Amino acid sequence: MHSKSKKRAAAIGVPKIGKKESEARSNFVRGRFKEDIAKITADFTSSIDIDKRLADFDITGSIAHLYALRKADIVGEKEKKAIEKFLLKIKNDIKTGIFKFDKRYEDIHMNIEKRLIELAPVSGPKLHTARSRNDQVSIDFRLYVKNEIKKVARILLDLRFELVSIAKCRTGTIIPGYTHLQHAQPVSLAHHILAYYEMFTRDFERLKNCYGAADVLTLGSGALAGVDFEIDRRLEAKMLGFAKISRNSMDSVSDRDFALEFNFTLSMIAMHLSRFCEELIIWNSEEFGFIELKDEFTTGSSIMPQKKNPDVLELIRGKTGGVISNLLSLFIMMKALPLAYNRDMQEDKKPVMESADTVYNSLLIFKEIIKTVNFSAKNILSKLEDDFIYATDIATYLVKRRIPFRKSHEIAGQIINYAKENKKTLSKLKVEEYKKICDVIESDIFDVFNPLTSVNSKKSYGGTALNRVEAVINDYEEEIKRDEKFLERLK
């Protein structure tokens, strides 16, 4: 370092990195700099703690690039073999934990390349020909996202399978259906559970779509303008398993749509899971008593011995906030970036990795909880004794006797009022009392107060009638088989 700049650095109190370190660094990317990087700059700009998770993808990507370099005759056969061998050694050293990550080399790409150059000082420095960290980080991130999508999709499909299995055993269990968290109309428990199957199936489709968005090879874009050599990008795509190659190098190095789409899908899954958790928390309460959670998935209270708390469900619900915030972080980070790569984009990994981990782990434990949940048929049935839940069925009874719906609705309301005022349930009213309010009512009105009759009368396609639910379960089983095949193809 020049003595002037040394003095200046000392004056502003910024410690420099040591001589040995600065040599290593300047050999690497600091060719044009006269001054060393300040330690706080090195620390501030380093992303190795986060992007070291991309190590395997980085090496896989480098090997594909190496083959393209060989094909373009930029490296010889011997050099290619040596570089490949050392890259695989580094991969193994990382796996076994003997690799030393070093903050001074900023990120995973430079840590690996630095080590490669140590191991192969002559051929190693050729690897970065016709490549930039900008296309390298893009390809690594795409490989990572594709892999995470596969993991999340696998577990999501398992959950969908569980929901269908539960529904198959619970078609005939009838529960109160709610709107505004008030008793609305009786529904099959299977129908309720399968509403979540529908949500998770849409999420699965979303995962398929964002897999497509990530499945584009961006390697070979260079820093932003493309590269000077005859790099066979199709060969790279084939080696790395990408369906397409990107068409615009500037877009390639600065596109993070695939990450945003993935984070959006993760947010949707988290939101759906959170709603389901909320529902189970309510069902698990003393007031509802519809379900009992397995001991393994509940916690006790430090002072109240009677408690068995649904903490896991609450945490899944709670973590949803973080997942949605990560989507926003990514959007906000991207929204004002001019083309092409900007260092802001280094902040893209954390929100995606965090959300992918959270959602994956939430799905994993939620699947176990729902699989082992115990439904209390007795408690559920007791809630159906509230026969005001059949108010809409009374209106339907009247419509079938040619009274227009609006009028029928009003009469049913009068009946409810009458029953409430006289402190009686609907099934305990006498037929004469009914007739006083509306004379078309006969003694068959009492057939209405039956959960099964009520449910089976909702026979529109998509309704809760048991035969409708059974039929749709068959469709779902076929759909699951199709999605299994889709996942097989991604392997």
Q: Which residues of 465-480 are buried (b: 16+ CB within 10 A; e: fewer)?
A: bbebbeebbeebeeeb
Backbone angles phi, psi at 440, to 5 degrees: -80, -10
The nearest distance, CB 110 to ligand ARG, in angstroms, is 8
Q: Is-catalytic flag, 191?
A: no
Residue whose CB is less far from ligand ARG, 47 or 454: 47
CA-CA distances (angstroms) from residue 353 to 52, 77, 233, 466, 487?
A: 12, 37, 27, 42, 21
Known catalytic membership, residue 180: yes
Query: Is 341 or 476 the residue whose CB approaches ligand ARG more closely?
Result: 341
Q: For ligand ARG, which is the closer residue by CB, 218 or 450? A: 218
- The distance of closest approach from Cβ of residue 64 to ligand ARG in the complex, given in angstroms and rounded to an integer, is 18
Backbone phi, psi, residue 38, to 5°: -75, 150
CA dihedral 283, 285, 286, 291 (to 10 degrees): 40
Q: Which of 2, 180, 302, 460 is labelled catalytic?
A: 180
CB of 200 to ligand ARG, least distance (A): 32
- Residue 153's nearest CA partner among 82, 74, 211 is 211
Spatial neighbors of 66 by CB under 8 A, at least 6 apart, are 75, 80, 83, 84, 87, 127
Q: Name the CA radius of gyration of the chain, rounded.
A: 32
Q: How far is the CB of 263 from ligand ARG (least distance, A)?
A: 17
Query: How far is Cα 257 from Cα 328, in angstroms, rounded to an integer?
Result: 13
Enclosing H/E stretch for 45: helix 39-45
**Cβ of residue 171: shortest distance to ligand ARG, in angstroms?**
51
Locate 204 and state its tokens: 């699965």
CB 62, min distance to ligand ARG, A: 14
By beta-carbon proximity to ligand ARG, the closer residue of 52 and 81 is 52
CA–CA gap between residue 471 and residue 463 (Å, rounded): 11
Beta bridge partners of 291: 375
Q: Which is nearer to ligand ARG, 140 or 393 (CB)?
A: 140
> What is the closest distance, in whole angstroms, from the C-beta atom of residue 346 to ligand ARG in the complex?
4
Tokens of 14: 């910024």
- Decide whether 331 or 388 has the Cβ nearer to ligand ARG: 331
Nearest to 283 by CA among 173, 200, 360: 173
Q: Which residues bind ligand ARG (CB under 6 A)?
A: 47, 51, 106-107, 133-134, 137, 341, 343, 345-346
The active-site residue, picked from 5, 301, 382, 443, is 301
Among all chains, which residue has been given the structure tokens 């993991």?
Answer: 151
**Between 47 and 358, CB nearer to ligand ARG:** 47
Chain centre distance of CA 393: 40
Q: What are phi and psi of 294, to 5 degrees?
A: -65, 140
Residues that are catalytic: 180, 301
